[in-house]
Amino acid sequence: MYQLHYFPSNANAAPQMVLEEIGQAYELVLVERGVNAQKSPEYLKINPNGRIPTLVDDGLALFEAAAIVLHLLDRHPEAGLAPKIGTPERAKFYQWLTFLTNSLQEELMIWQYPDRLTGTDAAATAVVKQGAEARAAAYLDVIENHLAANGPFFLGNRLSAADFYLVMLARWARPMTNPPRSRPNIAKLLDRVTALPSVRRAYERQGVTEEIC
Ligand SMILES: N[C@@H](CCC(=O)N[C@@H](CS)C(=O)NCC(=O)O)C(=O)O
């Protein structure tokens, strides 16, 4: 059985939505961030970055949320959460998922934790935080423009794991000055995806019962 090492609302959320949607049994293993368990010697053996999530699939330990999502899609193509390999639609799916994890997610991380770059320099921290928020907002605008022209999902009428990934990031981004939901087409996507029973179950199993994003 799959084991997903998680902490509520962390980057395990997108892989977990996929697990719920494909209907696979899986075990959730809490990584207690309160005691820094993500940096414990046992956890570092499966994730040398000391970050959450990690998926364990028999002998395979896999880190990076997007890689976990892609692995699950490869293992369960019948779930239809990504277009067929080798098609233009699949290429666009890779584009959006990579954009989400590589650009938007990273900028949100810097916005949430600017001091990881600036240390105790308060003035630098404020500048970095503001810059990261502006860059994240610009990325959200790119997504909004794409959805306005090609929505309601990243791949038009077809739901894919990229839509789940945006839900995860949108939850983190709620405190932004212009949060994801302030953009009408992103809001429409978030409404549709968070109404799915699989997505609600994924968050409920993490203990999140309030509005997702
Ligand atoms: N790129 C990684 C990022 C993972 C990540 O930043 N996880 C955060 C929680 S959302 C974490 O583990 N933070 C704890 C720490 O950095 O010590 C992924 O997508 O899996």
How far, CA to CA in Å, does 34 sit from each of 5, 39, 204? 15, 11, 20
Q: Which atom of ligand 1 is nearest to the CA of 63?
A: 20
Where do the domains of the chain lie?
A: 2-80, 88-196
> Does the predicted model carry a pTM greater than 0.85?
yes
- 3-class secondary structure, 3: strand
Whole-angstrom distance, CA of residue 83 vs CA of residue 106: 25
Residue 51 Cβ < 6 Å to ligand 1: yes
Provide the 8-state DSSP code for 87: S
Cα 178 to Cα 169: distance, rounded to the nearest angstrom: 14
* Stretches in the chain below the pLDDT threshold 70: none
Is ligand 1 within 6 A of the CB of residue 13?
no
Interval 56-110: pLDDT, tens: 999 999 999 999 999 999 999 999 999 999 999 999 999 999 999 999 999 999 9
Start-to-end CA span in the chain (Å): 29
pLDDT at res. 170: 98
How far, in Å, is the centroid of ligand 1 from the Cα of 89?
A: 29
**In the CATH hierarchy, which top-level class contains the domain 88-196?**
mainly alpha
Domain 2-80 matching CATH 3.30.2130.10: the answer reads no
- Percent of the chain with pLDDT strictly greater than 70: 100
